[in-house]
Amino acid sequence: MELEPIKIVRIFDKFAIYLSKDIYQILPLTFMLGFFVTFVVSRWLAILNGIGWIDNSAMAFAALIHGDDEKTKLLRRTLIRYMVLNQALVLRDISMQVRKRFPTLETLIAAGLLTSTECKLIESINDHYSRYWVPLQWCQQHLCKARADAKIVNDNLLGRTLQEVHTFQQGLATLLKFDWVPVPLIYPQLIFMSVRIYFILCLISRQFLKDSSFDIWIPITTMIQFVVYMGWMKVAEMLLNPLGDDDDDLECNYVIDKNLITGLTLVERGSSSPPEMEKDVFWD
């Protein structure tokens, strides 16, 4: 027996009613998205803090490494360069933007972050993971030497500068850790799949049925809901991978450039004395 068109329509209607029943409870998108966004927000903050800001280190180098000869000046500049180089080395394995800018170590030489001698030294290391930290190791060695040369005047201050380098490295190590164990992969997949299934169900169930007394052709409420949930999901996706290639993602290349400029500018002033003290206007 053939199905008459009218019968198919009726079956479709029943199917749509069946699907629309309790849909809010069956796929509790609200809570899934709410809890998930709360989770990724804290992760996003950790990444934002870990990406590395050179201000503190630069100020410490400028204030605590004394000497206005050319060699000391070179030392301070080299420390900054090594830290930015380290950041670039780590970020090019994590962020698509930085990868595109520095596809090979040679491009780092071209950008002035690396010399060819240093490049060879880095390439001579076999363990890929160890390579990341080589420039920071050089920093530490230079700082210890600066203490031995009495450019850093006491052990306590040496400790402070080493601590700044350490903090910088901790942040980048956090990024590497998040890159290695992103989030239990199944968690975001589950969330994003649920949102998609939800709207597939809506495609069928939210149609104006033959029997319904009202039909405006355009399912306004479902469209609003689509915008809201898709927007929320987009927030979650963006917070989950802030080092991607999108417009909304963190601009890692900008951070690298800013670090280099700010770092060099700050240490450049290290040898110059602060301005002569004058009595302030509130002095009585």
Query: Cβ(171)–Cβ(45) under 8 Å?
Result: no
Q: Of 57 and 92, which CB lies nearer to its own copies in the complex structure?
A: 57
Q: Which is nearer to its own copies, 18 or 100 (CB)?
A: 18
Binding residue for its own copies (CB under 8 A) from 9, 196, 234, 245? 234
Among 2, 185, 211, 217, binds its own copies (CB under 8 A): 185
Span of 1-9, 54-62, 90-98, 99-107 interacting with its own copies by CB under 8 A: 54-62
- Which listed range, 1-9, 36-44, 92-100, lies at the site for its own copies (CB under 8 A)? 36-44
Question: Closest by alpha carbon to 168, among 103, 90, 224, 223?
Answer: 90
**CA–CA gap between residue 236 and residue 191 (Å, rounded):** 9
Q: Are 118 and 104 in contact (CB under 8 A)?
A: no
Give the nearest distance from C-beta 214 to its own copies in angstroms: 4
Q: Which of 72, 40, 98, 37 is nearest to 268 (CA)?
A: 72
Asked if 129 contacts 179 with a C-beta cutoff of 8 angstroms, the reply is no
Q: Work out the number of other CB atoms within 10 angstroms of the CB of residue 148.
A: 10
Check residue 281 for interaction with its own copies (CB under 8 A). yes
26 part of the interface to its own copies, by CB under 8 A: yes
Residues numbered 76 to 105 that lie near its own copies (CB under 8 A) are 77-78, 81
Q: How far, rounded to the nearest angstrom, does the alpha carbon of residue 259 sit from its chain's CA centroid?
A: 15
CB 195, min distance to its own copies, A: 11
228 contributes a contact to its own copies by CB under 8 A:
yes
**Identity (one letter) of the amino acid at 49?**
N
Rule CB under 8 A: is residue 238 a binding residue for its own copies?
yes
Please give the distance of CA 132 from its chain centroid, rounded to a whole number: 17
Task: Work out whether 137 is an interface residue with its own copies (CB under 8 A).
Answer: yes
* 207 contributes a contact to its own copies by CB under 8 A: no
Query: Which position among 2, 4, 22, 211 is part of the footprint of its own copies (CB under 8 A)?
Result: 22
Q: Which stretch binds its own copies (CB under 8 A): 1-9, 86-94, 95-103, 157-165?
A: 157-165
The correct pick among 38, 69, 182, 210 for binding its own copies (CB under 8 A) is: 38
Which of the ranges 1-9, 93-101, 149-157 carries the binding residues for its own copies, by CB under 8 A?
149-157
Instruction: Indicate whether 154 belongs to the interface with its own copies (CB under 8 A).
Output: yes
| 8 A C-beta contact, residue 105 and residue 122 | yes
* 240 sits near its own copies (criterion: CB under 8 A): no
CA–CA–CA angle 125, 129, 132 (5° rounding): 80
- Is residue 262 at the binding interface for its own copies, with CB under 8 A as the rule? yes
Decide: is 201 part of the binding site for its own copies (CB under 8 A). yes
CA neighbor of 184 nearest in space, from 41, 17, 36: 36
* Nearest in space to 115 (alpha carbons), one of 165, 145, 143, 81: 81
